[in-house]
Structure 1
Amino acid sequence: MSSSAYLDALRDVLGGVVEPFVPMITMTVYYGTNKLTNGRELNVSMVKATPRVLIGGNPDELYTLVMIDPDAPNPNEPEIVTNIPGGKSCAEGTEFVSYEGPNPHIGIHRYMLILYKQRASLNDIETLESRVHFRVRAFAREHNLGNPVGIAYYNVRRLTKKKTKA
């Protein structure tokens, strides 16, 4: 895929959730032993466990990872991990909001893991009163994170059981 086609596809996925950007830092996401491919459709059972996320970047720099569902009825129920050293696993960062596996109630939902480069260590993030109505742009602005530097994304579809005739 050409770089302009990739950026067009990324712009479609972002859909106004964050400003369009050019990813600068690689992210590799695993659910179990399955490596995530951007844009892939997964089912709920595949994403119940916390993913293993490896990021590129400079070991002397820190990063914040925010995972959101922009299609939820109460959009953007996040997972937030800060102070991740470059070139390491997100497990080495500080988890502020824990992972809750995707669980769309209806249809297909987009899930995004958005990576930001920190300007300084983030240790004073206020506890979210609720995951409801979280806004990733406002969070990035409040914590001086600037534009994203990396992204991974996938879709989850709620599998429904077929109705049987009585």
Structure 2
Amino acid sequence: VDPLVAAHVIYDVLDPFTSTVPLTIGYNNRLVRPGAELKPSAVVSQPRVDIGGNDMRVLYTLMLVDPDAPSPSHPSLREYLHWMVTNIPGTTGVNFGQELVIYERPEPRSGIHRMVFVLFQQLGRGTVFAPDMRQNFSSRNFARQYHLNIAAATYFNCQREGGSGGRRFRPESSQ
């Protein structure tokens, strides 16, 4: 089973998609793998992001959202936008793009939060603009508004420093 489906990233945040470009994300040389556990102290600074592909003329937008804000049991701020970089050329990384929403480190207060990185392919340079607010952001609506196609996605789990335990999901039949 696709880890994005198992963690409900698909459906809660994104529609089903097929990756079209490799996306590598790392905090302090620790690669972000789907479902990895990273504490807030490990994600203080923006990560290193490398985008694959073979054409620098293809541009991407990278976002980091928290669909579990302020808490997984009551995600009333879903989705919270932690970061947005646009106009990133393929084969490069976020340093070659334009940061529209400054990186805000994840600091969950309660529960285990899924921190979702989404890479979208843009129509062209300067075709994506910053949203008005970070809270109650919708990756789906944003993608529709700016004609963005999902190119890749991954996520990690984050909880407060003293937290412990894994994410638990209700069986499909009880929803």
Shorter chain as denominator, the TM-score bin is: 0.7 to 0.9
Q: TM-score, normalised by structure 2?
A: 0.81
Q: Tell me whether 1:62 sits opposite 2:56 in the alignment.
A: no
Q: Structure 2, unaligned stretches of length 5 or more?
A: 71-76, 164-175
Partner of 1:135: 138
Partner of 2:93: 89
Q: 1:159: Cα distance to partner?
A: 2.4
Q: Deviations over 1:68-104 (max 9, x none)?
A: 0000121222211110000101111011101111111
Stretches (4+) displaced over 4 A: none
Q: 1:123: Cα distance to partner?
A: 5.0
* CA-atom RMSD in angstroms: 1.6
Larger radius of gyration, structure 1 or 2?
1
Q: TM-score, normalised by structure 1?
A: 0.85
Partner of 2:68: 71
Q: Structure 1, unaligned stretches of length 5 or more?
A: 162-166
Q: Tell me whether 1:155 sits opposite 2:149 in the alignment.
A: no
Amino acid at match of 1:136: S
Q: Secondary structure at the match of 2:116?
A: strand
Q: Secondary structure at the match of 1:100?
A: coil
Structure-2 separation of matches of 1:68 and 1:122: 21
Partner of 2:148: 145
Q: 1:22: Cα distance to partner?
A: 1.5
Structure-1 separation of matches of 2:64 and 2:126: 17
Q: How many residues align?
A: 153
Structure-1 separation of matches of 2:14 and 2:43: 23
Q: Deviations over 1:108-148 (max 9, x none)?
A: 000111011111113561x43321111111111111113x1
Q: 1:149: Cα distance to partner?
A: 1.1
Q: Tell me whether 1:114 sits opposite 2:118 in the alignment.
A: yes
Structure-1 separation of matches of 2:133 and 2:124: 25
Structure-1 separation of matches of 2:17 and 2:127: 26
- How many percent identity over aligned positions? 36
The verdict on how the C-alpha distance between 1:31 and 1:141 changes in structure 2, with shifts beyond 3 A counting, is same
